[in-house]
Structure 1
């Protein structure tokens, strides 16, 4: 295993270092079987991740979580390497108008991607005219502004759109297509199914239960990188055996190949190099 970092390798969480210098802050009166979340009073990461994940498809669960704690309507999660997504962003790129409306009613902050999903032609056009180039910025997971606009028509989930809403969305889509800069795509050298096969599998960088990655095919038959045993974001081949991750520009994943076999991968971040051996 190779790890290097500009800041060194700190295995102790910041909160633990803080407590070490102030024992009374460590929660001495907390029962050992019911500890507070290690970043309390921040909301537990598991809850934040759940509400963002559920906002893609599970309206009932979103209502349950957000009704109890409306602040979760503004939840934001980093899926990996800085792939930040809000709950509203999740609903927006899959066209869930129902979930998006509920989140905004509880304080979620709409952005250009949300307005695009709702087909708000005049709003999106004015934002682009006031901030030239904003249309080319990618949304969560590297998804383009044009894709968000199309999602608003594609997925209605029981909501019947009015003729006016449909026309506004179609007008916005035509406008964005005419611009030619609102459909950002990752460079991706095509690969055959056989080419992809050699990358699939588990890669370990330590002995811990979760210290590793899994490379598998996602629903679009693209390679994806996730935590060990889990799905993750798409990999796009930038050059042979070198990939970018889900629209993240500062991270590259390099695979080491011997003959026809992949033996390891190395993640290059601005201040971290992490090598994981294929198992």
Structure 2
């Protein structure tokens, strides 16, 4: 009788949950504990997977497919690199001109932006958006990259584009160039010779990773990253004063004594820290 009562209660409980759309597979708690390894981020997707999707969207179509095919929602991945420099997977593909990756992500549910349509050379879309929202062409994309630079990036895969696609892209470039303000902020140029004085490691704490590396990135711009790691671009806005990778609230200033850099000061809304050059 006791077993019958338990079974009946179990059936009633399961039926009630089913009505509410909350039925569960018939796996005991003991079985779950032994067979399922839960991520500490569950039910959220582990952030390292999000980072990998966005990272690979710059250059690796097969790598992106290996992640997105089994989980199409990853096509909409967005990652914050540092200091509020946000980038989506399709944003990554767009600013490097990987139309193949961008089109694949769109086929899986990614949300294209004005920067995507610009890179793809969709002239009518770009022109209509700017006419509907005058000034939007001055907005920059990930890492502070301009709308016009996204159009130029679209030329990367010209050899795989049709004649009409190329003509539309060229029309887009001509249109944006003619606007005069779609090429981003006019930052101060830093010569390769001037860059040399800033290069090196800077420490702000005793920990092994408590510091920054100032280097030069693939775009030949000064960059700031973790010690020994890759970094985001530094754009010069004043005398030994830079802003970080399109994030206007973050500035980096360098303290110069007797023509040598002694330290940097990083300022963002909640923190100001000084890192000594080592």
* TM-score of the pair, normalised by structure 1: 0.82
The structural deviation recorded for 1:30 is 7.8
Which is helix-richer, 1 or 2? 2
Indicate the residue corresponding to 1:270 in structure 2: 269
What is the aligned counterpart of 1:42 among 41, 44, 55? 44
Q: Pick closer, same or farther for the CA change 1:207–1:42 going to 2, 3 Å.
A: farther
For residues 266 and 227 of structure 2, what CA distance do their matches in structure 1 show? 14
Give the 5 Å matches for 1:46-57: 46-57=48-59
131-140 vs 202-211, which deviates more?
A: 202-211
Q: Are the equivalent residues in 1 in contact too, given 2:78–2:89 (CA < 8 A)?
A: yes
Q: Are the equivalent residues in 2 in contact too, given 1:186–1:247 (CA < 8 A)?
A: no
Give the 5 Å matches for 1:46-195: 46-156=48-158, 160-193=160-193, 195=194
Aligned to 1:132, the other structure's residue is in SS state coil
For residues 191 and 146 of structure 1, what CA distance do their matches in structure 2 show? 23
For residues 45 and 263 of structure 1, what CA distance do their matches in structure 2 show? 36
Q: Are the equivalent residues in 1 in contact too, given 2:39–2:46 (CA < 8 A)?
A: no
Indicate the residue corresponding to 1:231 in structure 2: 230
Aligned to 1:53, the other structure's residue is in SS state helix
Structure 1 unaligned blocks of 5 or more? 1-28
For residues 114 and 213 of structure 1, what CA distance do their matches in structure 2 show? 32
For residues 265 and 30 of structure 1, what CA distance do their matches in structure 2 show? 50
Q: Are the equivalent residues in 1 in contact too, given 2:123–2:171 (CA < 8 A)?
A: yes
Q: Deviations over 1:176-210 (max 9, x none)?
A: 111111111341243451x3222111112222332
For residues 153 and 191 of structure 1, what CA distance do their matches in structure 2 show? 26
Q: Are the equivalent residues in 2 in contact too, given 1:186–1:236 (CA < 8 A)?
A: no
The structural deviation recorded for 1:35 is 7.0
Give the CA RMSD over aligned residues: 1.9
Structure 2 unaligned blocks of 5 or more? 1-31
Indicate the residue corresponding to 1:204 in structure 2: 203
Q: Deviations over 1:66-112 (max 9, x none)?
A: 11211110111111111111000000111111101110111100010
Q: Are the equivalent residues in 2 in contact too, given 1:266–1:274 (CA < 8 A)?
A: yes
Tell which has more relative contact order, 1 or 2 (C-alpha 8 A, sep 6+): 1
Q: Pick closer, same or farther for the CA change 1:41–1:35 going to 2, 3 Å.
A: closer
Q: Are the equivalent residues in 2 in contact too, given 1:189–1:238 (CA < 8 A)?
A: no
Q: How many residues align?
A: 245
57-66 vs 184-193, which deviates more?
A: 184-193
Q: Deviations over 1:7-44 (max 9, x none)?
A: xxxxxxxxxxxxxxxxxxxxxx989xx7733x432222
Q: Pick closer, same or farther for the CA change 1:188–1:30 going to 2, 3 Å.
A: farther
* TM-score of the pair, normalised by structure 2: 0.83
Aligned to 1:203, the other structure's residue is in SS state strand
136-145 vs 182-191, which deviates more?
A: 182-191
